[in-house]
Structure 1
């Protein structure tokens, strides 16, 4: 399981779970993102890899390489968890399991930020990071939409121009990515309401190569700068305003295990 450190404020809030530990009660309840997998250590159980660790529940249906949001409760003193290190997972009660939709990754195109993709492109009102687990970056997106509207999410990060596009911001290497959203179905009703959802983007292969590259250069951290379209001038559709969210990432130093 790969749970790499993203040290931005939003990521810390999502990744560093606060345990609900009472006196003499070594257990906790929490919620968070996870990715389905098969346990290591020879038991081959279906587990949910989370920021806390691999969790197994005999009553939860978890599929490999599927992204989820879930609530879970873990009793570290239970007999089932006596050999957790050997088993490669903690036995847990997992509830409220919801699949997180995967957005599209584009590692080969350069997106034109001066023009709209098409007349269906949407404005994002706010964005947060939900963490990075097993090669997936989770992003929370807020926007205005009609009931039952469907959208398409694409995250652009051109890997062929990484060295050309990296900049230094406050002395830290910063890599720019661009999230663009298009409406694929109009939904119903005449009014839009504020809504939000999370998307999972399989960014790991490129991200981990950058973690190693920056680590080899002696850096301890670098930034991902996720840019998003925040407003469109009603009188001039070429007048676009972009905002961004920065996520600090820890590097992987030479000979350091992930």
Structure 2
């Protein structure tokens, strides 16, 4: 039995992943962004061991979430599932003065990774839209270019890949991989999406728990349990380390080699 933390597990892919893992007998810790959603999550996944609460669009709340998560751990696996989409017609600025898509999708998983003890396995959910991402590390907050919400989303998913691969390099004792879950019918994916929840959660569950040789690898990008080739920028180690440096500046917390 593994102990597994899943961010963004009050609904959608995260909740289905949690349900599947709990049914398999694993100890699952859920995450919700507020108390109301935490209560809903606990009802939907009654076998969960705990629910931790924190809004990822807040650095202070993300730190509090990490504190709660440490108390409920330690973890064999952390699945960074939480994220927001890119449909906004203008940038949303958080209480920290940061662009929300970048903060929730990239900076929050960076900070949680840096604050939590290193697990045996890390899974970062990305998107096939990473292929169109552009690593604009000089303008992470979209202050010097016209706003494009879908581009901001694609960029954030590229950064998630870069983060997963950077962690794999700096933490050789942790299997760190990224997953494109597909276009799943969820609140974010919308009713026109092509795939159902079981398909979206299958690969994260497999990477979290399987002892198959294909799953016990690191620095890979998967979809439907198959390794894919990602956006070439994701493999650029200089870009990876620059992303880590800029995230450390924004959070005041370094992700240290282990």
Shorter-chain TM-score bucket reads under 0.3
Structure with greater helix share of residues: 2
* Bigger CA radius of gyration: 1
The normalised TM-score by structure 1 is 0.27
Structure with greater strand share of residues: 1
